[in-house]
Every structure is written in C-alpha cells, then in structure tokens.
A and B are shown apart, each in its own frame.
Chain A
Amino acid sequence: MRRTANEAALSPERAIYLRREKRQRRCITLCRWGFLLAFLALWEGAARLGWIDSFIFSQPSRILQTYVTMAGEDLLYHLQVTLTETLAGFLLGAAAGVVLAIVLWWSPFVSKVSEPYLVVLNSLPKIALGPVIIILAGAGTRAIVFMALAISLVVTVLEMLSGFRDTDAGAIRMARTFGATKGQVFRKVVLPYNIPTLFDSLKVNIGLSLVGVIAGEFLVSRAGLGYLIVYGGQVFRMDLVMASVIILAVLAALLYESVVLVQKLVGRRFGHA
C-alpha cells in the first residue's frame, strides 16, 4: 500500500516531497494567471500609448465595453444559437456515428465495401461541401447543424469502429465459449469495453462540431457567434470580432469540460479508469 497524505506519521522526506509538490503546483497556477494578466496589460498599454492601432488590434477595455453594450439581448441570443446548433450537431454526429460503426462492425462485408469511401470522406475537407449543404438543407439552422454533423460523423465512425475491432479478443472468445450470439458479444463485451473509446471520440467531436457550426454560420450568416465574427469583420468592428472569439474560446473549453465531467460520472459506474 502506498502512504497517503493523511497518514498520521509523515517521514521527514515525505514532508519535504509534499511541500515541494505543493509549491510547484502553486507556481504553475501563478504563472498561468500572470501570463494572461501580463498579456492583457501589454495589449492595453500598447494601444493606449499608440504602439499599435487599436482600430485594427482592438484593446481589452474596448472589448469589455462591447460586452457591456451587447449584454442583455444580443450576446446571449447569439451565444444560445451557437450552443444549440453545436449540441444538436454533436449529439446527432455521435449517435449516427456509433450506429454506423455498429453496422460496420457487424458486417465485415459492408465494412470492406465502404472502406475506400470512408477513407476519402475522412480526408475530404467537409467545409467544401458547404454550398451543397446550403442548397440541400436551406440557408438556416438545418444547414448549420448538418455541417457540424458532417464534420464529426466520419471521425466518430472510424474511431468507434477501430475501438470495436480492437476489443480484447480473449474476452470475446470467452463469451463465445458460453455460446454467446453476436448481439450478446456486442452488448456484454464489445460495447462496455469501448466506453473509454466513446468518450475519447466525444472529446474530439465536441470541438469538431463547434468548427462545423462556426463554418456554417460564416456561410449562412444569420445568427450565432460565427455570424457576429463575420459581421464584425465586414464592418471593421474588431472589438466585436475579438469579443466573440473570446466567448467562443470559453464556450469551447466549457463544452469540453462537460464531456470530461460526464466521462468521470460514467467511469465510476463502469469501473473504468
């Protein structure tokens, strides 16, 4: 058994080690915040002193100002549009991706037939399909969700399929010795074995869906953070562009962390790490 921190008698070496670890952690946190603050201060200072043109580079105080004037209706509305579209694309992409991966795992024939198509689709930049998607789905939310779906789908299929195929052969063989059918092998062994794969794939997908949504909003240009960014760029309001990008960054981080959180909850249930 390893010694734990709450054990009554700590050896002097252990105490030193723990203290050093703690200092190291504190130092890292401090540097992270310090870097951010220094960057903001430099930016603000440079703009005020006229080293950079704040019309092009914007400046933190003006971005803050933008938030204040936009707060209330506009910002929340656009944020909500982007969030809804991202979640829709993400969930659809994950669900459809897993279902397709199951089909491909189930039938080696279908899998072999579709292999070259998947490879091509995987390497194709899905954004190139943008105009086609807009014509098919109409210039609106549907096209944007479709874009997010298109970007995350193929990756999910390929990742889940490779996870399914890499399932411990011994565990499958064991289930077969009890006469397990293919469906039973899948439900009792392959699927639970790949819960970690699923979450790895979801972590990638949440980011990809956001990419798809922003790209879609660029093209459709009706609402959402992507629209704000394009609009701000066109009318040369860099404050608006920067403000939207920052919100987007925070949104991306929060979405990723939510997936990590769900993974932890599910992981406890299934006993995975």
Chain B
Amino acid sequence: MAILSVEGVRQAYQTPTGETVALGNVTFSMEKGDFFSVVGPSGCGKSTLLSIIAGTLTPTGGQVRINGQRVEGPSPHIGYMLQQDNLLEWRTVRQNVLLGLELRHTLTPEMRDRADGLLETYGLAAFANSRPSQLSGGMRQRAALIRTLAVNPDILLLDEAFSALDYQTRLEVTEDVYRIIRRERVTALMVTHDIPESICMGDKVLILSARPAVVQEQLPITFAIEDRSPLRCRSCPEFAGYFNHIWKELGMHETHGE
C-alpha cells in the first residue's frame, strides 16, 4: 500500500477581487522510502501542495491519504522543513531540536534520548548547549532537519529547504541532508525550483504544469553509479539528459527573461 497518496487535489483561493485556482487536479502516490522532487513554474502552487499534504490547509477538492488514512488536520506523520531554519534564538540548539516534541506533547525520555542521538550522529552534540547564532549556515539547517526528524515522521516534506543558503553551503547541506534522509529511511517529498537539485536528490521528479497545476510528468531518475550522492550525480553522463528534458517540459526556454 502506498504510504502517501494524493488523489485529485484541487485548491482555489478566494479573495475579494477574485478567485485563483492554484492546483487543478494533482494526483500521485509514493511508496515507503521514496524520494520525490517536485518542480514547476514559479507560482504554480508547489508550496500549497505541501501544506495540503501536511494537513495545515484543507483542499477545496480531492483528498490526501497517509497509510490509507485520510488527512484531516495537521498530521503527526509529517515532518516539514521550510526554507528558513527558523531556529529560535532564545533556546539552545538542543531546546530547539526538542521544540517539535514539546509542541506535540510527545517529549518522553525515550524521544529525548533519540533526539540527543541524532545530534550526536550528525555532529551537533558539541553545540547542543550553544545558541543558534553560534552555528554556521550549514549547521543551522542540519539542526532544523534534526528538529524535524526528532518527531519521528513517516514522511518528510522539504519546501525549498536550501534556497536561502549560499551556493557552496547549499551543496554541502544537500549532501548532508540526502545522507541523513537515506540513512534514516524517511520517505521524502522535496519542492524546489532548482532543476539540478531536483535531479540529483530525487528518485523521481514530478513536473507540475503552470497554474492551475496538474502533474505533467513523473520522470524516474536513475544513475549508473553505486553509492549515489547528490554531488556525484552532478558529474554523471545521464545528468545533462535529465536536465534538458525537464527544462523543455517546464517550457522555461520560452518564458525565460520574462
């Protein structure tokens, strides 16, 4: 059974001046352990889609099922990672990492130990009692990821999670996050506007159309290398082919420079 299934999701926004249909009819499903990237023209409702899957936004049509159960309200199965790390400066790194557990009232000693273990495994144990401002950009994003993983989600949603970082940090963090997600065997759905990132992270790239968005294509990504990592993918011969294909699908050659 699919861990996540999005069935005919439609979303329209009402404002006093009119109606905007962001999502037309979005359908796809993910199996446990999948890593999907979502790309699409800007403003096509990619973030809206994630909010609906997370249950923080009720779609105007269609439904989302997680483990076969319909999502109606913020789902405890979901971990959500945003563009900004949003670490709270008045808390230590450790207290930040525990925030999700506090908010969900699941801060048991076992979960606390698990969070400490994650800090340890991913090289932040030495900074557990530091303030977020003492961390580098990459470490902050890693702390944010650990905060999300600490609640033990089945599905991880990444919303442009790396686009606030400078290019070099971004490559580093992408490596980090990819490794962590694979190692923790989390199912991940990542929205991005960066085509190379979508290719080198995803098992499959979902290409959304312009508003009202539908899934235009589901492109499986395979590389003939062992021990795949985002950086290695970038230098693979298949990379350019995927890039050109997505580029063409998005029609970016036409709208570029708009």
Contacts and interface: CB of A to CB of B under 8 A. Distances in A.
Interface string A133-172: 0000000000000000000000000000000000010110
A174 B86 contact: yes
Interface stretch (B16-24, B97-105, B199-207, B231-239): B97-105
A174 B83 CA distance: 10
B76 A179 contact: yes
Contact of B103 (A171, A175, A271): A175
Contact of A171 (B54, B56, B88): B88
Interface string A170-186: 11011111111000100
A180 B86 contact: no
B90 A178 contact: no
A174 B82 contact: yes
Given A179-B104, A188-B99, A271-B131, A168 B74 contact: no
A198 interface: no
How big is the A interface, by class? Answer: 20 to 34
A96 interface: no
Contacts of A272: 89-90
Nearest to B84: A170
A178 B103 contact: yes
A93 B80 CA distance: 40
5 contacts: A170-B84, A171-B86, A174-B84, A192-B88, A270-B90
A176 B86 CA distance: 12
B66 interface: no
A192 B89 CA distance: 10
Contact of A271 (B74, B79, B90, B102): B90
Contacts of B214: none
Contacts of B88: 171, 188-189, 192-193
Contact of B86 (A173, A184, A192, A271): A173
B104 A178 contact: yes
A118 interface: no
B190 interface: no
- Which of A168, A179, A192, A272 gathers most chain B CB within 10 Å? A179
A181 to B, nearest CB: 8
Contacts of B38: none
A174 B90 CA distance: 15
Given A189-B88, A271-B90, 13 more contacts: A168-B86, A171-B88, A173-B82, A175-B103, A177-B56, A179-B73, A179-B104, A180-B103, A188-B88, A188-B99, A188-B102, A192-B88, A270-B90
A87 interface: no
Contacts of A171: 86, 88
- Which of A168, A173, A272 gathers most chain B CB within 10 Å? A173
A195 interface: yes
Interface of A: 168, 170-171, 173-180, 184, 188-189, 192-193, 195, 270-272
Question: Lowest 4 CB-CB distances: which A-B pairs, in order?
Answer: A177-B80, A179-B74, A174-B86, A178-B103
Interface of B: 54, 56, 73-76, 78-80, 82-84, 86, 88-91, 99-100, 102-104, 131, 151
Contacts of A195: 90
A111 B99 CA distance: 30
B255 to A, nearest CB: 29
Given A188-B99, A192-B88, A195-B90, A176 B56 contact: yes
Contacts of B76: 179
Contacts of B99: 175, 178, 188
Contacts of B102: 188
A222 B222 CA distance: 88
Contacts of B86: 168, 170-171, 173-174
Contacts of A270: 90
B154 to A, nearest CB: 15
A40 B75 CA distance: 72
Contacts of A184: 103
B77 to A, nearest CB: 11
Contacts of B56: 176-177
B82 A170 contact: yes
Nearest to B79: A177
B52 to A, nearest CB: 13
Nearest to A172: B86
Contacts of A177: 54, 56, 74, 78-80, 82
Given A170-B82, A173-B82, A271-B131, A178 B100 contact: yes
Contacts of B78: 177
A45 to B, nearest CB: 55
A271 B54 CA distance: 32
Contacts of A178: 74, 80, 99-100, 103-104, 151
Nearest to B151: A178
A176 B56 CA distance: 8
A189 B104 CA distance: 15
